[in-house]
Amino acid sequence: MSQDQASAAALFTPLQLGAIDAKNRIFMAPLTRSRAKHDGDVPSATNARYYAQRAASGLIIAEATQISQQGKGYAYTPGIYTDAQIAGWKLVTDAVHAAGGKIVLQLWHVGRISHPSLQPGGQLPVAPSSVAFESKTYNDTGFVDCPTPRALRVDELPGIIEDFRTAAKNAIAAGFDGVEVHSANGYLLDQFLKDKSNTRTDEYGGSIENRVRFPLAVVAAVCEAIGSDRVGIRIAPETHFGDVGDSNPAALFEHYVDRLNALKLAFVHVIEGETGGSRELGGVDYVALRKRIATTYVANNGYTREMAIDAIAAGHVDAVAFGVPFLANPDLVERFRLGAELNKPDQATFYGGDEHGYTDYPTLELAAKS
């Protein structure tokens, strides 16, 4: 074994996350691919093949999945609120488990990142506040501007919490090992957390204590539904994705993680810096944040193999979730073991389309034969 392969051992130490045992620390990050069946947003055998190809990952965090039609924000993303969707996801979890992997489902309500064409009855998307913002989404005609959303009434919040609770139970019925609540990237829960998108004057807006109230109620309900040892959360303290932002992200997320600690989650998954962008925004010290988090810390955002080895070996993070590298390299785990070169991803096939750019990226083995 080379010096380099020996140092990679840090990536291959097993890790227990609540009730989920991961065989290594190379996780697959949730990746929106918009390849659900167009009729009913149902996962298919093609989706099962894609995930099973990546089952060597310690934990697959399956793509963001809407908990209701209101929670949908893009064309062709999968749901987890109908019987057909549960049956479709069962194909995926069976294939991943047969290949020796673990898989959790990311539960998603987009809030205002949507368009009436994707909403029940063609209605306006909903959000904590009716604040104009800059973001685009895509429907079956292509990219469209997101309109100014309608502010949710207090009496609508219990229904959304119920939708999350039911979605978590559905995920377990579909064979998932657990769920990750999507509280990042400018979607509904992040919209409540951050003061640029949340201008409410009731008990769900204003102070930090008020802004965390709804997201915490969602996470608590999901924990109650399936057990907190099968629940993780994804946060993005500093992201501006979806035109969110906060005047004091460090204080907001210190408070949020302190409160999440009481729920005894299986893991907290943190996008460090700008989603898909700079890791050095300067507003949050992630090593300090990690110390406040009383459970497993899964790091994400622009990590290379070497950065992951160093961060795990230093004890700064427990596991690293890789997004785009996993998209183009079904055998990323083996490539990391060997220190091998990576396939380059093709941006044109990220969202929508068929097997091309989805299940046809070559493994090292296939590349050697051709």
Q: Which residues are catalytic?
A: 187
Interface with ligand 8OZ includes 183 (CB under 6 A)? no
Say how many residues touch ligand 8OZ, by CB under 6 A: 6
Chain positions 109 to 168 lying near ligand 8OZ, rule: CB under 6 A, are none
CB nearer ligand 8OZ, residue 64 or residue 188: 64
Across the strands, what pairs with 65? 107
Interface with ligand 8OZ includes 64 (CB under 6 A)? yes
- Are the C-beta atoms of residues 176 and 104 closer than 8 Å to each other? yes
Interface with ligand 8OZ includes 191 (CB under 6 A)? no
Least distance to ligand 8OZ from the beta carbon of 241, Å? 6
CA distance 252 to 234: 15
SS3 (DSSP) at 211: helix
Interface with ligand 8OZ includes 76 (CB under 6 A)? no
The torsion angle over the Cα atoms of residues 306, 312, 313 and 316, rounded to 10 degrees, is 120
25-36 in b/e burial notation, b at 16+ Cβ within 10 A? bbbbbbbbbbbb
Least distance to ligand 8OZ from the beta carbon of 354, Å? 18
Least distance to ligand 8OZ from the beta carbon of 64, Å? 4
Least distance to ligand 8OZ from the beta carbon of 293, Å? 20
Q: Mention every residue, 6+ apart, whose C-beta is less than 8 A from residue 244.
A: 186, 190, 191, 194, 196, 197
CB nearer ligand 8OZ, residue 235 or residue 312: 235
CB nearer ligand 8OZ, residue 12 or residue 138: 138
Query: Distance between the two ends of the chain, CA-based, in angstroms?
Result: 27
* Residue 262-291 contact track with ligand 8OZ, rule CB under 6 A, x = bound: -------------x----------------
- Are the C-beta atoms of residues 192 and 215 closer than 8 Å to each other? yes
**Position among 47, 66, 183, 185 found at the interface with ligand 8OZ (CB under 6 A):** 185
CB nearer ligand 8OZ, residue 24 or residue 106: 106
Interface with ligand 8OZ includes 74 (CB under 6 A)? yes
For 148-179, what is the HEC assignment? CCEECCHHHHHHHHHHHHHHHHHHHHCCCCEE
Least distance to ligand 8OZ from the beta carbon of 203, Å? 27
CB nearer ligand 8OZ, residue 192 or residue 241: 241
Q: Mention every residue, 6+ apart, whose C-beta is less than 8 A from residue 82.
A: 40, 42
* Residue 209-248 contact track with ligand 8OZ, rule CB under 6 A, x = bound: --------------------------------x-------
In which residue are the tokens 């893009």 written?
74
CB nearer ligand 8OZ, residue 32 or residue 329: 32
Least distance to ligand 8OZ from the beta carbon of 135, Å? 11
What is residue 241's DSSP assignment?
Answer: T
Question: Which CA distances in Å does 315 have to 74, 192, 297, 311?
Answer: 37, 32, 10, 6
**Position among 32, 53, 129, 301 found at the interface with ligand 8OZ (CB under 6 A):** 32
What are the residues binding ligand 8OZ (CB under 6 A)?
A: 32, 64, 74, 185, 241, 275
